[in-house]
Amino acid sequence: MEIKFRAAFEQELYNRLNSIQFEISERTKVPFLGESISEFVLNRGKRIRPTLFLIAYYGYAQEPNPDILKIAVALELLHSFALIHDDIVDDSSLRRACDSMHIRLGRLQNSPRANAHSGKALALLAGDVLYTIAIETFISIQEDPTRKEKALQELLQTARSTGAGAFLELCSRQGGEIKVNRNLILQIYNLKTVGYTFACPLKLAAIFADVSQAEQDLLADFAECLGYAYQIKDDCEDLKSFVDSSPEALPMQPEEIRMMLPTWYLYRNLTAENRFWIERLQQPSREDLCKLKELLSSAGAFEQAYEESQKFIDRAYRIIPNLTMQRESREGMAGCLQMFFKITAGNLQEAKL
């Protein structure tokens, strides 16, 4: 299913970026902004959001709109905007094994006064420009006005919730003694991952394909399962990389580690003394990091987190046969599970899709 529209999507994305690059470079005469945006967006990622959107839309639409690829492109552009800002907030120098936008722009400046701060300032503005491009692309679709307005409201609400989730996460990292709070962690997961990565693309597909509210509710349940499972898995992988890293490697910060569900399982399994130690941990020494790695490795936290992730995966898997989309699209959704969570093809073939 994905192969059918992947090439068309990539071509639409390429064409859109080319037109924007021309507008910025030739009409406004702004140096290297358009080229930097294009290079950043076209540095291929997983394309999760456009993939889910197009699988669902083509699975439901009785008469597909030939203009629908614009929505998929807008979702990817909006995601790229978010990545630029995330990398600034997290001070990340790499994105998809290449320079993050603020590193890229910092190096492109031909000025003796250029520095890391100026690169971040430029990247912030480039992200803002990209946001406007995403919205402009979204509203350029030729579509029923009522559906388009409803879809735009959904997109903007999701963007607002995602920003609020990132704001909440940063606020929760501040301060001296920080409790490891499961409800807070799941709230951040819901705001930052469930809605933004999974629920929004599926909801937009449902709106444009004009499916029933009951089906939209089923898709929302499916998205929730995918979102929680995906974020738990992602956090487990990040923490495992931290545990396996050398002492010389740049460590994860304790305030970041405390905002991950595997850490909550660790926290729950510890003695009161070690709980207090984790809550108070700041600017850790090498000995502190070694102790934290040992606790993560020995307390069963990863096993318990993966088990919870698997429960969400199983629940999502059981929802797929109940979706009323075309069989080929149900198979496409099952393929997404395989891609996201490395489920074997044999297990997928056993499902009654």
SS (H, E, C) 103-119: HHHHHHCCCCCCCHHHH
What is the model's pLDDT at position 77? 97
What is the model's pLDDT at position 178? 61
Q: What are phi and psi of 176, to 5 degrees?
A: -85, -70
CA distance 227 to 188: 11
What is the model's pLDDT at position 345? 45
CA distance 299 to 148: 50
What is the model's pLDDT at position 145? 96
Weakly modelled stretches of the chain, pLDDT under 70: 1-3, 110-117, 175-178, 247-251, 343-353
Given phi > 0 = left and psi -120 to 50 = alpha, else beta, which region is 149? alpha
What is the model's pLDDT at position 45? 82
Q: What is the pTM of this model?
A: 0.91
What is the model's pLDDT at position 252? 75
Spell out the domains of the chain, with CATH numbers in brackets: 1-143 (1.10.600.10), 144-353 (1.10.600.10)
The tokens of 7 are what? 């090439």
Residue 287 makes CB contacts below 8 A (sequence gap 6+) with none
Q: What are phi and psi of 250, to 5 degrees?
A: -65, 120
